[in-house]
Structure 1
Amino acid sequence: MSLILVTGGVRSGKSGFAEELAADTGKRVLYAATGEAKDEEMRSRIEQHQARRPAEWGCVEIPQYLSYSNQAAKEYEVVLLDCLSTWVSNWLMAVPEEDWRSEAITQEIYQEAKAWLDGLSASPQTVIAVTSEVGLGGVAMNKLGRWFADVLGDVNQMTARRADTVYAVFSGIPWRIKG
């Protein structure tokens, strides 16, 4: 297994860069999409991502359980997971406000991330995971925002530790920061 993590700010060009990395391999690619079209704006973003991808790429939607992508990817040599930040958002947005910051839910998210990463270690595929960097911004002004930053920051760190290569994308310019 080879794990490449691509991180950066929102609209930094990280997804486009990750798509280029996947396409440049010349191998069969599975796009593992975490986004859900719950409103018109998100539907439009998803359509933009779909339009950029080569038609021959496979696609699996995994809004909550990342480890499902490990099973779906068996026939592919490259998996592009876009993205971990949306995946964490999917989990947290499903939680009622009175349960925000629940340690049990936080641990469930971490266990799912670990199960996904553990499944990758036994795989021969190249996996390119995209995520948003939350460590460069200020502290969120509300409880949900702070929980999101804490959980995503931890998931990003878990993933970066296991990654062979990590890129940070700033204003469309990728910088290799590990590997």
Structure 2
Amino acid sequence: MAFQRAVVLGGSRSGKSFFAERLVRDRPAPWIYLATSQAHDTEMEQRIAAHAARRGPGWQTVEEPKKISDTLGTLPEGSTVLLECATLWLSNHMLDDSDLAAETDALLAAIDAFPGRIVTVTSEVGSGVVPESALGRRFRDAQGLLNQRLAAQADLAVLVAAGLPLVLKGRLPEGIA
């Protein structure tokens, strides 16, 4: 059976975004790119532009840094969505001092209720050094817990390292490796 909920995890520049795009393109276009990033500087603007250029035609971009739970409810039934990324979504909420427990519960409920396919990209941040600051440790811990919950509700969980997918849960669609 094909997956409906997938989570793709990996470190920075691991290839997780590219792999997630391949999973989304396994379904016919149009595809929805639900972006949580915000361009606060030139470097981030360049990253966003590079991602958009790599995706190519067939994608509709919806930008929403925080209220993903509300936004998912407005998308057409049967849509195929790439949510990129849960890590920036979490950062956005932490910087605004949001109620993380309530926001996380709302996000996971919206993903679960979404009447289409959704692939969520998220960063694996717990494999490195212990962050020096209390905020850094709090973020690492919150990200680890969010990733666990995303993977628990997913039909497919894939860790990407050096551009190579390692399936943690479920099965990849035929032709994707």
TM-score per shorter chain, which class?
Answer: 0.7 to 0.9
Q: What corresponds to 2:173 in structure 1?
A: none
TM-score (ref. length: structure 1)? 0.87
Larger helix share, 1 or 2: 1
| Residue 111 (structure 1) shift | 1.7
The answer to whether 1:154 aligns with 2:174 is no
Q: Among the aligned pairs, what percent are the same residue?
A: 40
The answer to whether 1:57 aligns with 2:59 is yes
In structure 1, stretches of 5+ residues that fail to align are 96-104
Q: What RMSD over aligned residues (CA atoms) do the two structures have, in Å?
A: 1.6
The answer to whether 1:173 aligns with 2:164 is yes
Q: Does the 8 Å CA contact 1:3/1:127 hold for their aligned counterparts?
A: yes
Structure 1 runs (4+) deviating above 4 angstroms are none
Deviation per CA, 1:10-61, whole angstroms, max 9, x where unpaired? 1100001101111122243110000000011111111111111233211111
Q: What corresponds to 1:127 in structure 2?
A: 118
Deviation per CA, 1:40-96, whole angstroms, max 9, x where unpaired? 11111111111112332111111011202312322552110000111111122334x
Instruction: Pick from 34, 37, 59 the counterpart of residue 35 of structure 1.
Output: 37
Q: What corresponds to 1:7 in structure 2?
A: 9
d(CA) in 1 for partners of 2:21, 2:74: 19
**Structure 1 stretch displaced more, 15-24 or 49-58:** 49-58
Q: Does the 8 Å CA contact 1:110/1:155 hold for their aligned counterparts?
A: no
Q: Does the 8 Å CA contact 2:7/2:158 hold for their aligned counterparts?
A: yes
| Residue 113 (structure 1) shift | 2.2
The answer to whether 1:142 aligns with 2:144 is no
